[in-house]
Amino acid sequence: MQLKLVSQNLVTDNVSVVEGEMAIISCRVKNNDDSVIQLLNPNRQTIYFRDMRPLKDARFQLVNFSDNELRVSLSNVSLSDEGRYVCQLYTDPPQEAYADITVLIPPGNPIIEARDEVLSEGNETEMTCTAMSSKPAATLRWMKGDKELPGKPKVELTYDKMYTVTSRLTFTVSKEDDGVPVVCIVDHPAVKDFQAQKYLEVQYKPEVKIVVEFPQGLTREGENLELTCQAKGKPQPQRVNWVKVDDDVPSHAVITGGDLYIENLNKSYNGTYRCVASNSVGESYDDYILYVYDAPTTTPIPTTATTTTTIITTTISYPEANQDSRAGEGAPRTVDHAVIGGVVAVVVFAMLCLLIVLGRYFARHKGTYFTHEAKGADDAADADTAIINAEGGHTNSDEKKEYYI
């Protein structure tokens, strides 16, 4: 940030420059009345008088000279160039404006030192980061992975007016920290993205897991059991042991490395089987609880004859609308038995109903009719004779039957 200093009509700016780079000093005049401008160094020696350089330091060069500005460059700036420079305007009385040059010196490469090169899970460790010989003092920050950790800084001023900053970091490591970088970040106006890092190497005790290889389901009498113990740690476990909690492992059990094999299970083998793995950091274990179930029983096949009813299911398949009709050419046709049986049943039922209706109709319209004709009545001389003849012929009269269909 530049701060403008004003003395009547004369203006200049403060300058911050990194050691070895170039600084620009500008003396500017507002409403100049042809007064002379000159630039003096911190020892009040004239660097430039108008456009002339009385000082024999070739690092100072004229950049611009006019009635309103005197601009001078200073190359290869060193710490000895730091101080207050004077812009002077010859008026009555003379006017002065001051430009302070601040020289920035970047720190050396940061150095990380660790108390422990190899860390153990759960232990506390300490690291220090040092940034030496800077001006002004640097600020140090710590990052572990993507998490920022607080450090304890210490600033020292050396004999040559430089600053050395040391930050101390203390934290507890876990197995998840193995391979994680710890970064020391240097914040300084003279540098950007300045940092150092160190990767953590963490040893941790084994992680143990028991895997059932056989059987996949329930463990039953007479079957075999095979277990595998998987152990992983840093360093890799040197020993993997199988034990039975509160008892001995069956005498005929076979243990090969991390594998446990038991034949012909019975209920006396029930219990907790433990796999124990250890390394230089410590030991861990995993348990497997064995419970042997009864062997499956076999149900005898009954000898009595049984009647089996078979239900035949017919599936009706309808071709899809977009299916190629030629796909079924040459294949045997599928007989739709359900449809045919349904049609036959309907026809038979209709015929039975028709026969019942016709039978009832015939029963109602069937009859026998008798006619007693007076035989010889046509030959009778009068009515009385006809009646007598008719009565006399009643006994011997023929019966006539008539049927209507």
pLDDT in tens, 135-161: 999 999 999 999 999 999 999 998 888
pLDDT mean over 32-36:
82
| 346 occurs within a structural domain | no
Same domain membership, residue 83 and residue 14: yes
Name the strand (E) or helix (H) holding 389. Answer: helix 383-392
pLDDT mean over 293-322:
50
The pLDDT confidence band at residue 340, using thresholds 50, 70 and 90, is confident
Single-letter code of the amino acid located at 374: A
Rounded CA Rg of the chain: 61
Domain around 239: 206-290
Pairing of strands 119-120, 202-214: parallel
Q: Among the three residues 83, 104, 125, which one is the final residue of a domain in this structure? A: 104
Q: Report the share of the chain in percent with pLDDT over 70.
A: 78
Q: Which residues of 262-281 are buried (b: 16+ CB within 10 A; e: fewer)?
A: beebeeebebebbbbbbbeb
- Higher model confidence: residue 366 or residue 53? 53
- Other Cβ atoms less than 10 A from the Cβ of 4: the count is 10
pLDDT tens figures, 113-128: 999 999 999 999 999 9
What is the pTM for the complete model shown? 0.62
Reply yes or no: is the peptide bond before residue 235 cis, omega within 30 of 0: yes
Same domain membership, residue 82 and residue 55: yes
pLDDT mean over 90-95:
86
Name the strand (E) or helix (H) holding 135. Answer: none
Look at the alpha carbons of 258, 263, 265, 268 in this order and tell me if their dihedral is positive or negative. Answer: negative
List the single range of 18-32, 137-151, 390-404 with lowest mean pLDDT.
Answer: 390-404
Question: What's the pLDDT score for residue 322?
Answer: 38
Question: What's the pLDDT score for residue 250?
Answer: 93
Give whole-number Cα distances, 144 to 58, 129, 199, 365, 401, in Å: 49, 13, 9, 115, 128
pLDDT mean over 393-403:
46
CA 214 from chain centre, in angstroms, equals 32
Question: What's the pLDDT score for residue 145?
Answer: 94
- Other Cβ atoms less than 10 A from the Cβ of 397: the count is 14
pLDDT mean over 311-340:
44
Same domain membership, residue 121 and residue 92: no
Query: HSE-up of 308 (CA within 13 Å, CB side)?
Result: 4
Question: What's the pLDDT score for residue 387?
Answer: 52
Nearest to 85 by CA among 146, 37, 141, 144: 37
* Residue 308 confidence (pLDDT) above 60: no
| 315 occurs within a structural domain | no
| 308 occurs within a structural domain | no
Q: Among the three residues 151, 184, 200, which one is the final residue of a domain in this structure? A: 200
Cβ–Cβ under 8 Å, residues 275 and 285: yes
Counted domains in the chain: 3
Question: What's the pLDDT score for residue 337?
Answer: 73
| 344 occurs within a structural domain | no
Same domain membership, residue 240 and residue 282: yes
| 267 occurs within a structural domain | yes
Give whole-number Cα distances, 85 to 35, 253, 273, 346, in Å: 19, 93, 86, 123
Q: Which two tokens stand for residue 240?
A: 């993997």
Same domain membership, residue 131 and residue 60: no
Cβ–Cβ under 8 Å, residues 8 and 46: no
pLDDT mean over 241-263:
94
Mean pLDDT of the residues in the chain: 83
Q: Report the share of the chain in percent with pLDDT over 90.
A: 64
3-class DSSP state for residue 347? helix
What CATH number should be reported for the domain holding residue 275? 2.60.40.10
Same domain membership, residue 93 and residue 79: yes
Rounded distance between C-alpha atoms, residue 308 and residue 294, angstroms: 34
* Residue 168 confidence (pLDDT) above 50: yes
Rounded distance between C-alpha atoms, residue 189 and residue 105, angstroms: 9
Q: Among the three residues 200, 224, 244, which one is the final residue of a domain in this structure? A: 200
Give whole-number Cα distances, 62 to 1, 39, 89, in Å: 24, 11, 17
Query: HSE-up of 242 (CA within 13 Å, CB side)?
Result: 24
* Residue 261 confidence (pLDDT) above 60: yes
| 265 occurs within a structural domain | yes
The dihedral region occupied by 246, where left means phi > 0, alpha psi between -120 and 50, and beta the remainder, is left
Cβ–Cβ under 8 Å, residues 149 and 171: yes
Q: Which two tokens stand for residue 238?
A: 């040197």
- Higher model confidence: residue 380 or residue 184? 184
Nearest to 191 by CA among 75, 13, 20, 4: 20
